[in-house]
Amino acid sequence: MLNRKTSRGCFVAMAASITIASWAPVHAQVQDMLPSKEAVSARIDPSQFSPYVGRVFPTQVYWGDTHTHTMVSVDAGTMTRLTQEDAFRFARGEEVTATNGMKAKLSRPLDFLVIADHAEMYGLMPQLLQGDPEVLATEAGRRWYDALTQGDDDLTFQTAMEIVSSLSGDEPPIKSDKAVRNAWRDYTALADEYNDPGNFTALIGYEWTSAGGDNIHRNVIFRGAADEANRTVPFSQYDSKNPEDLWAHLADFEETTGADVLAIPHNGNLSNGRMYSVLTFDGAPLPKELADLRARFEPLIEVTQIKGDGEAHPLLSPEDEFADFDTWDKSNLNGTEAKTPEMLPAEYAREALKTGLKLEADLGTNPFKFGMVGSTDAHTGLTAVEEENFFGKHSGVEPGPHRWEHVVIEAPDPEFTIYGWKQAAGGYAGVWATENTREAIFDAMERKEVYGTTGSRMLVRFFGGYDFSEDDTKSRLPADVGYAKGVPMGGDLPPAGDGQAPNFIVAAMKDPYSGNLDRIQIVKGWLDGDGVTQERVYDVVWSDGRVAGADGKLPSVGNTVDVANATWTNSIGAPELIGFWSDPDFDPDQRAVYYARVIEIPTPRWTAYEAKRFGAEMTPDVPMTTTERAYTSPIWYTPAG
C-alpha cells in the first residue's frame, strides 16, 4: 500500500504524463465506470445526505447594536467628534480614531447597526460647532459655542450637563425645523450608502427621549430605506413627552405609508417606577387600547447596556444568586430623585414579564410581551463594549488612567453621582435571522427571535414544546429538532393537553474570545390561582459535574481570574452546554412565561484591564471581575379559553 506522501507523488506524476490529447478518452472511460444519476437516485434516499437542504428557519446569529450615538446627538456632540459615518465604519470592522486620539477597532465586525441619535434638536450640534450663523444667532447657541470651543475640559463637561438638562424643557433651546429635516435626510442617505445586504446592515433609527430624569426613552427603528424614513422626521419630546403619543404617531406613520416601524424601551432601571407601570402616563388605569398599542410597537426591550443591567433586582428576586449584576439603583437618570423600593417592580424586565401575565388576564392583552436584546447606548460613536476594548459611555470617559474615578453622570445630590468604574461594558443584540438584510433582521426583531448579552458573543438556542426528550440533547443540530417539535424564543406554546407539561431544549456555545460557560438556567414566571405573580429560577445544565447542595443550589464554578495581569484560564466551565428541562410545577390553568439565562465563568472586568494597562490603583470597592451572561427572549404559555 502506498503511503500518503508516495501516493501523492504518484498522482502528480500520473497527471503530468497525461497529455491534453489523451485526457478525453480517459475521462470518457471513467464516466462509463460511474453509475448514472438515475441509478443513484433509485437506490439512495436523498434525505440521508445534506441535512441542510430545504431549510427555511434561521441558522445564523447576527450581532449588532440598536443604540449608538454620534456627534449628531445634542448631548453626545458636546464631547465626541465622531460622525455617523465614523460609527458605521467602526461597526463594520474598520479602524477609526476616537475623540481622545486613540486608535480604535473591534476584535470582530458587527453585522448590523442602528445609529439612534436623539430626536431632540437632531443634527444641530454639528452645525453649532461649525459656527452656523443661524444657530449662533440664538442666545443658547452663542453661549454653548463659546463654552465648547475654549478647550476647557471642565467647562465642556458642565456645558454638556446643562445641555442634557435643557432637554427636559417644553421648547427646544435652539429651534430649526429645516436643520432637523436636512440632518435627518443626510443620515438616511448615509445609512442607505452603508447598507450592504448580505454583509452589513445599516438600519435607520433615532431615539425619542422624554420625562426628564425618569428614563422612559425609546429607540425607534424603521424596516425600510431612506425613501420610506424620509416621509417623517424624528418624533421628539418637544412633540410630546408621552410615550402613548409616540405610539399613536408610529401608528399614523404606518397607516399613511404602509411602512413597518418598532420602538425599543431602554433603561427601565433608571425610570424610577415608570417604564413598566400599570398606569397610563397621566396616572390612570391602563386601558386595553393602549395595552394593544404598546404590544404592537414595542416587541422588544433593551435589557442590558452601559447604564446597568435591567433583568432582575436582588430585592425583587432574593432567591436568585445572580440577580445583583451591574446594578444601578440609587436614583433616576439625572440623580434628581432617590430610588425607593416600591419603584423597583416597574423597572426590571423579569418583574414586567410577570406583570404582563396579570394584565393579560385582566385586559385580554399583554403590553409587556416583549423579547430582550442588549445594546450599548454609547455616546462615543464606538460600539466597543468588549471588556478589554471598552470605550465608555461618553467621550469624557474614554480609556485612561483616571477614568474609573471620572464623573459619568453628575447629579445635584453628590450621593447619586455616577463615576466611571460604575459603567457596565455592555451589551449586544443577537438576532436569529434568515439573512443579513434590513428586512430579515427587522422581521426577527418583530417575532422576538432575539437575545441580549452583556457583550459576549455566545451562541444561544431556546425552544419550547411538549414533545422534547433527553435524547434530543444528543443532536449536534438542536435547531432541527427545536423547530420540528416546538417554538423558538419569542414564541407561544399552545394550550396543554391532558397530562402534558411544557418542556424545553436550551443550548449554548461559548464565545471563542471569552470565558467558558458556567451554567444555563430557565427563569419561570407565572400567575397563580390567587392572581399573584410568582417566579423561580431553575438550573438546567451546568459544567464540571457539580452536585446541588441540600438547599438546591449549585456550588460555585470557581474563579481563575488573575486580576493583576487581567487574564484568566478556561480550565473550569464548559465550551458548550445543552439541556432538556420539563416544568415540574406546571399547572395547565395558569399563565406562565419562560426565558433562558446563560452564565459564563468569571473573567476580568474592564476595570482590571484598565488597571493593568495604565498602572492605575483603584479603590477596593471597584469590581475587577465579571460574569458575562445572555438573556433569551421568552416563550409564553396561555391556558385554553
Q: What is the pTM of this model?
A: 0.92
C-alpha cell at 365: 392583552
Distance CA 380, CA 398 (A): 8
Residue of 445, 420, 419 whose CA lies nearest to 433 = 445
**Distance in angstroms (rounded) separating the CA atoms of residues 344 and 329:** 9
Element of type H or E holding 426: none
Backbone CA torsion sign across 361, 537, 595, 276? positive
Count Cβ atoms below 10 Å from residue 350 Cβ, excluding itself: 26
Q: Mind listing the pLDDT tens digit for each residue in 511-570?
A: 999 999 999 999 999 999 999 999 999 999 999 999 999 999 999 999 999 999 999 999
3-state SS class at 390: strand
What span, in angstroms and rounded, lies between the C-alpha atoms of 403 and 417?
A: 14
Residue 546: per-residue pLDDT: 97
The identity of residue 565, as a single letter, is N
- CB-neighbour burial class of residue 538 (10 A; exposed 0-12, middle 13-18, buried 19+): middle
| 3-state SS assignment for residue 326 | coil
Rounded mean pLDDT for each run of 10 residues along the chain, 641 residues in total: 36 33 40 52 64 89 98 93 98 98 98 97 91 89 90 84 79 89 97 98 96 90 98 96 97 98 97 97 97 98 98 98 97 94 98 98 97 98 98 96 94 94 97 98 98 98 98 93 97 96 98 98 98 98 96 96 98 98 97 98 98 97 98 98 79
Copy the grid coordinates of residue 357.
401575565
CA-to-CA distance for 111 and 114, rounded, in angstroms? 11
* Contact status, residue 185 vs residue 422, Cβ threshold 8 Å: no
E strands, 98-239, in order:
103-104, 112-115, 201-208, 218-222
Q: Is 588 exposed, middle or buried (0-12, 13-18, 19+ CB in 10 A)?
A: middle
CA dihedral 245, 241, 218, 627 (to 10 degrees): -140
Sequence-distant (≥ 6) Cβ neighbours of residue 320 within 8 angstroms: 312, 314, 537
> 516: which DSSP letter?
P
Q: For helices 288-297 and 243-257, what crossing angle results, to 10°?
A: 70
pLDDT in tens, 570-616: 999 999 999 999 999 999 999 999 999 999 999 999 999 999 999 99
